[in-house]
Amino acid sequence: MENALIYRLAEGSLEAGRPLEALELLAPLVDELRDTAAGALLLGRAYYRSAQLRRAEETLARAVELAPSDPYARYLLGRTLQRQSRHADALPHLRLAAAQDPAYAGDRDACAARIAS
């Protein structure tokens, strides 16, 4: 199967709430996916949505490294850290994401409030 088709099928699986199915589709391409920002983000989303938070963190950190100005990659890395109760680590990523896209301001503020309490 062509890689572009696999990516589309994996994206569809994620949108349908089937992250494990997406990961199964992406398994043969993991090394290749980690070499591009879009690929790392797709893989990171699948890990995040399947609650594989350590893998999500590692993969999303790679996505941020490859595309530091991508607000969604940064946001999802921050949310991954939050889900691990690492609020202080999450806040800088959520701040940068919110600075680039105000839609993420609520999560930034909630994380900051959690640290302050």
Per-residue pLDDT, averaged over 14-31, amounts to: 96
Q: With beta carbons less than 8 A apart as the criterion, state whether 38 and 29 touch.
A: no
The answer to whether residue 3 scores a pLDDT higher than 90 is no
The model's pLDDT over 88-117, given as tens digits with 9 standing for 90+, comes to 999 999 999 999 999 999 999 999 999 998
The model's pLDDT over 57-75, given as tens digits with 9 standing for 90+, comes to 999 999 999 999 999 999 9
Per-residue pLDDT, averaged over 25-42, amounts to: 94
Give CA–CA dist 117/74, Å, rounded: 24
Give CA–CA dist 66/32, Å, rounded: 14
